[in-house]
Structure 1
Amino acid sequence: MTVVANIGELARRNMRQSGIVVAFVAIVVLFSVLNSNFLSPGNLTNIVLQYSYILILAIGMLIVIVGGHIDLSVGSVVALTGAVAAVLVVRNGYPWWVGVAAAIVVGLLVGAWQGFWVAVVGIPAFIVTLAGMLLFRGLTYQVLDSVSLSPFGGSYYLIANGFQNGLLGGQGYDVFTLLIFAIAVAGYAVSQWRSRQARLRYQQVVEAMWLFVAKIVLVGIIAMWFAWQLANYRGLPNVLIILAVLIIAYTLVTQKSVFGRHVYAIGGNLNAAQLSGVKVRRVNFWIFVNMGFLAGIAGVVYSSRSNGAQPGAGNMFELDAIAACFIGGAAVTGGVGRVTGAMVGGLIMAVMSNGMQLMGIETAVQQVVKGLVLLLAVAFDVYNKRRAGVAR
């Protein structure tokens, strides 16, 4: 017998995920009221360009946190991978793709190094990545000889600063951008329908049909409105294409693959996972290799965006990525969290930072606000766990 839930029941079942979406919408509305330029095409594009590397890091950090670990070194790895790319492309004149490949390889090597100490030697990830934060920052200074390298220019610069515009024409707007977003909305609708049907087959609670349709329509309207803003400005940012591919790929990895299920099993109950035959060491090793891989991509995007490499690049990036995951619904104890939630959490941080910058709020105050938001998000998670425990 299937059960169809109303809005109140769904909100109680999925309070954390529903809450962050409502909070995101409320923050967007607040800043759009306070500053008329907040929702302008130029500013929306700027948000995508400025915070894409944090969202990329948040994808990898989510998997780390779900597995019951933490990674404090990603900011230093972003700096190191960007420095390697700059030395090859700027200083030695290699093609742009050599710099990209080298940065990603360095990220993979860093991930394998840290994965070895965590998975094989058994040192807690907090200690390993804290050491890595210092180690890789020092290596960055060594690689750059303590000076900045710029500019990249050319194709490397366009990775994070270029746009796809005019591929299919359009009178004052870019048809290609609208088409890509329309395909994405259609894909989202099909995915949600299949997920709903699967829950019905297993006699799980689902929303009423009218509510399901309303949700799809609302998401479609918001997505196409955002696409229209981009299409009327400069088109589809290259970095948004990179980010979309990563989100889709890692959503499938975490929700559909054996590796993803094992990560959730380890973070949810380590002893049960071991007794179930999960190869914990192997999974933990690849968790950190994957984090290094995504840190390498983020390093390429950030160095491209800034059009150079600096010894101090990536400072505090790890905290922004961690905050995005926790605000987006990841549990402190591991085993809980989704890629989409981390993306919403990252967008909340991005929107708050951008909105406060437009209002001219001091950096010190911005840090205070973001710190309070993170604290409240984790407190809400703890509150929900305690209430669930009392209910049982």
Structure 2
Amino acid sequence: MTTDTTATKRGFHFKDITKMFGGGQSTLRQFGILGSLLVILVVFQVLTWIIKGTGLTLSSGNLINVVNQYSYILILAIGMVMVIIMGHIDLSVGSVAAFTGIVVAKAMADWNLPWPLGILLGLGVGVLVGAWQGFWVAYVGVPAFIVTLAGMLFFRGANQWVGDSQSIPVPQGFKVIGAGYLPELSFIPVPFNVFTMLLALLGVAWIVFWEIRTRRIQHRMGADMAPLWVSVTKVVLISAVILIAGWLFATGREGTSFPISGVILLALVILYSFITNNTVFGRHIYAVGGNRQAARLSGVKDRWVDFFVMMNMSVLASLAGMIYVARATASGPQDGNGWELDAIASVFIGGAAVSGGIGTVIGSIIGGLVMAFLNNGLALLGAGADVVSMIKGLVLLFAVGVDVWNKQQGRPSIIGFLTRRFGRKSDPAEETFDPKANYPTSQKYEAPAVDETRG
């Protein structure tokens, strides 16, 4: 017996737009939150133009400031999404970041430790802290909420004890990771930063390569593929956004370009997207988060997964803390306050499920950018910290409330609603058999008899 896997050719359907970024509920929620991000950018650009006389949100200087100010929160969101997919929560990331920052700053100031070794020391501190917390979660069985709550208190106190509640400056070389930019090529007389534009072109090339590779794999496996027009539209839109953003970063004020902290963030996004989507370990994270018992019966070592996810979170927290200290030029006792809340909010706004098992790195980054530009836009309009905090709380509540309501109603997203409303009334390729529709109400439907003699 043979199976025909050839895709049926059909005309334009609005419903196909849902395949632009996948098709599952998680990717559809990300599609919706991406639209929300675009709306926020446009609204604040228009409001600043009306009130200030010029659009400030999408200016080169403002975009550079946003990356500098929120890169460490986005780094935390990368690790936090893996923790939340597992069904855990980590409240200690801000305190761990502050503790690492003060240890590294004090080591470089008191022991004359070279700054590259200081970075390695900070990552090592993150490994030890993460191993400590991961042990309690994975092998002792204490809930992650309690373990990290204790860690939040302990490492906040440890930060103040090590630094004697004083600010400790860091050397000039160390500041590069938090306040540095891609260098200029003075021998090339062009009105933009060459490395920034090369980075943008590299991003476009990667998007084109990955889309072609994905379609070839789907064709070879006989999987359902998005129509060609969807793939072309996706590549063109993403490439245009990358090139425009690259140009804005490359043409900022003299001496600036794409921040080094942004380069670190991009590298981590690529790395962790690959880990979560294309490795056995990444599949185990989703398996354990979706159904721990089933994963355990399938041979997944869930304790190992718990341990490494918690340890990874502390390592990323340590890196985020060092980037913040490098940008602030000194480590202080109030570093990291509230970071865990921003990271958790970014993950949930980015489409992660409260119950675990659902979420992506890209979605968390989009959620983090929503929070970043919300903060930034309100600040540009002169809103106070009190108003910003209230609005952030409402946005988080709304995002999680919509997720819960969608699950209760069986509606994955607004996009799904639009496709049901404006799409074809029926698609023969997607019709399912309904006994009530195919048989009169007076006739009882009977399933075909099963031949019990067959094996």
**TM-score band, normalised by the shorter chain?**
over 0.9
* Residues 205-258 of structure 1: per-residue CA shift (max 9 Å, x gap): 443211221111111111111111111122221111111111111011101111
2:101 aligned to which of 78, 82, 86: 82
Q: Residues 219 and 389 from structure 1, CA distance in 2 versus in 1: closer, same or farther, beyond 3 angstroms?
A: closer
8 Å CA contact retained: 2:76, 2:93: yes
8 Å CA contact retained: 1:91, 1:149: no
What amino acid does structure 2 have at the position aligned with 1:308?
Answer: A
Correspondence 1:7 to 2:26? no
Deviation at 1:68, TM superposition (A): 1.1
Q: Measure the CA separation in 2 of the matches of 1:205 and 1:24.
A: 29
Deviation at 1:146, TM superposition (A): 1.3
Deviation at 1:385, TM superposition (A): 1.7
Q: Measure the CA separation in 2 of the matches of 1:340 and 1:110.
A: 26
Moved more, 88-97 or 73-82: 88-97
What amino acid does structure 2 have at the position aligned with 1:256?
Answer: N
Q: Figure out how many residues of one structure are paired with residues of the other and give that number.
A: 391
8 Å CA contact retained: 1:6, 1:208: no
2:132 aligned to which of 113, 134, 137: 113
Q: Measure the CA separation in 2 of the matches of 1:97 and 1:219.
A: 35
Correspondence 1:380 to 2:402? yes
Deviation at 1:98, TM superposition (A): 2.2
What amino acid does structure 2 have at the position aligned with 1:43?
Answer: N
Moved more, 9-18 or 187-196: 9-18
Correspondence 1:127 to 2:140? no
1:19 paired residue number: 32
Deviation at 1:89, TM superposition (A): 1.5
1:173 paired residue number: 192
Q: Measure the CA separation in 2 of the matches of 1:222 and 1:66.
A: 29
TM score, norm. by length of structure 1? 0.95
8 Å CA contact retained: 2:115, 2:171: no
Deviation at 1:7, TM superposition (A): 3.4
Correspondence 1:311 to 2:333? yes
What amino acid does structure 1 have at the position aligned with 2:128?
Answer: L
8 Å CA contact retained: 1:161, 1:238: yes
The DSSP-based 3-state class of the residue aligned with 1:163 is coil
8 Å CA contact retained: 1:84, 1:99: no
Q: Percent identity?
A: 46
Q: Measure the CA separation in 2 of the matches of 1:376 and 1:195.
A: 34
Structure 1: runs of 5+ lacking an equivalent: none
Q: Measure the CA separation in 2 of the matches of 1:389 and 1:25.
A: 23
1:331 aligned to which of 333, 353, 362: 353
Q: Residues 120 and 384 from structure 1, CA distance in 2 versus in 1: closer, same or farther, beyond 3 angstroms?
A: same
Moved more, 67-76 or 165-174: 165-174
8 Å CA contact retained: 2:29, 2:351: yes
Deviation at 1:196, TM superposition (A): 3.3
Q: Measure the CA separation in 2 of the matches of 1:37 and 1:272.
A: 51
Deviation at 1:10, TM superposition (A): 4.3
8 Å CA contact retained: 2:83, 2:309: yes
What amino acid does structure 2 have at the position aligned with 1:153?
Answer: P
The DSSP-based 3-state class of the residue aligned with 1:356 is helix
- Aligned residues: CA RMSD: 2.0
8 Å CA contact retained: 2:16, 2:230: no
Q: Measure the CA separation in 2 of the matches of 1:118 and 1:371.
A: 29
What amino acid does structure 1 have at the position aligned with 2:240?
Answer: I
Q: Measure the CA separation in 1 of the matches of 2:244 and 2:13.
A: 28
Q: Measure the CA separation in 1 of the matches of 2:217 and 2:352.
A: 24
1:183 paired residue number: 202
Structure 2: runs of 5+ lacking an equivalent: 49-54, 417-455
Q: Measure the CA separation in 2 of the matches of 1:304 and 1:7.
A: 48
The DSSP-based 3-state class of the residue aligned with 2:299 is coil
8 Å CA contact retained: 1:62, 1:337: yes
* Residues 320-344 of structure 1: per-residue CA shift (max 9 Å, x gap): 0011111111111111111111100
Q: Measure the CA separation in 2 of the matches of 1:294 and 1:169.
A: 37
The DSSP-based 3-state class of the residue aligned with 2:410 is helix
The DSSP-based 3-state class of the residue aligned with 1:153 is coil
Moved more, 181-190 or 244-253: 181-190
Matches within 5 A, 1:1-392: 1=5, 2=7, 6-11=13-18, 14-35=27-48, 36-150=55-169, 152-167=170-185, 169-233=188-252, 234-388=256-410
Give 1 or 2: higher helix fraction. Answer: 1
The DSSP-based 3-state class of the residue aligned with 1:274 is helix
Deviation at 1:202, TM superposition (A): 4.5
After the TM superposition, list the runs of 4 or more consecutive aligned residues in structure 1 that deviate by more than 6 angstroms: none
Deviation at 1:138, TM superposition (A): 0.7
Deviation at 1:200, TM superposition (A): 4.2
* Residues 244-284 of structure 1: per-residue CA shift (max 9 Å, x gap): 11111101110111111000000000110010000011110
Q: Measure the CA separation in 2 of the matches of 1:247 and 1:299.
A: 18
The DSSP-based 3-state class of the residue aligned with 1:23 is helix
Which has the higher Rg, Structure 1 or Structure 2? 2
Deviation at 1:184, TM superposition (A): 1.1
Deviation at 1:388, TM superposition (A): 2.8
8 Å CA contact retained: 1:165, 1:236: no
